[in-house]
């Protein structure tokens, strides 16, 4: 049920992104991207949150790399680990170009996702992935900037709640500009093609 809600949320956000990006459907249909083309969008332009060491990080820190931002939580049963695993797989298949790809995981569950837990979680996929963990207010601001939905879903006990959240990745080019909304379920091949397209642009 959670997975189904997440998929619906992701699709809804993608539709909203198309409506607000300022790109007409005709130009979007000509895009070479497998994901939703967000080039020129007026949102998801900034990201300023602390990392697990308490240092403030921003998209500017990763200039020169294609950045893949994902909002999730470590106790997510399906969407989050699948997304992180696919991104790790893509980095490996890209060989040397994989070093030009940066995964950024923004937790929507800072109460349970401690720095230690986030480090171990992302390390199990790729040690180069960066985890961002803000306060409730900082997370809210970041989610609003990205038009990301997240909400706590009560469990049988106060400690066993889960989180509904937008099931998608936001991909930035090497200049730090938002370019692609990649829906969950698109697969590693589509993600790889989109990342390679952005890397090729940077070489021109």
Average pLDDT rounded to a whole number, residues 124-143? 98
Quick check: 149 and 203 in contact, CB under 8 A? no
Q: What is the CATH number of domain 2-203?
A: 3.40.30.10
Residues 146-185: pLDDT tens digits?
999 999 999 999 989 999 999 999 999 999 999 999 999 9
State pLDDT tens for residues 10-63: 444 444 443 343 333 334 445 799 999 999 999 999 999 999 999 999 999 999
Contact 166, 148 (CB under 8 A): yes
Beta bridge partners of 51: 132
Q: Where are the alpha helices (DSSP H) in the chain?
A: 2-20, 25-29, 79-93, 115-123, 136-146, 188-203
| Report field, pTM of the whole predicted structure over 0.75 | yes
Paired strand residues for 48: 58
Domain boundaries, the chain: 2-203
């Amino acid at each position: 049920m959670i997975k189904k809600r997440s998929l619906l949320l992701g699709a809804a956000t993608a539709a909203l992104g198309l409506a607000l990006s300022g790109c007409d459907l005709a130009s979007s249909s000509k895009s070479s991207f497998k994901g939703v083309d967000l080039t020129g969008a007026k949102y998801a332009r900034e990201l300023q949150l602390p990392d697990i060491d308490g240092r403030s990080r921003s998209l500017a820190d990763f200039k020169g790399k294609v950045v893949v931002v994902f909002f999730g939580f470590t106790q997510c049963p399906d969407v989050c680990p699948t997304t992180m695993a696919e991104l790790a797989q893509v980095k490996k298949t890209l060989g040397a170009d994989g070093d030009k790809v940066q995964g950024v995981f923004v937790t929507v569950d800072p109460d349970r996702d401690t720095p230690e837990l986030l480090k171990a979680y992302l390390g199990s996929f790729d040690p180069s992935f960066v985890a961002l963990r803000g306060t409730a207010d900082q997370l809210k601001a970041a989610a609003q900037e990205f038009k990301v939905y997240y909400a706590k879903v009560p469990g049988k006990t106060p400690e066993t709640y889960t989180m509904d959240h937008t099931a998608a990745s936001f991909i930035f080019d090497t200049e730090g500009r938002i370019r692609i909304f990649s829906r969950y379920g698109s697969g590693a091949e589509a993600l790889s093609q989109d990342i390679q397209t952005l890397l090729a642009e940077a070489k021109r």
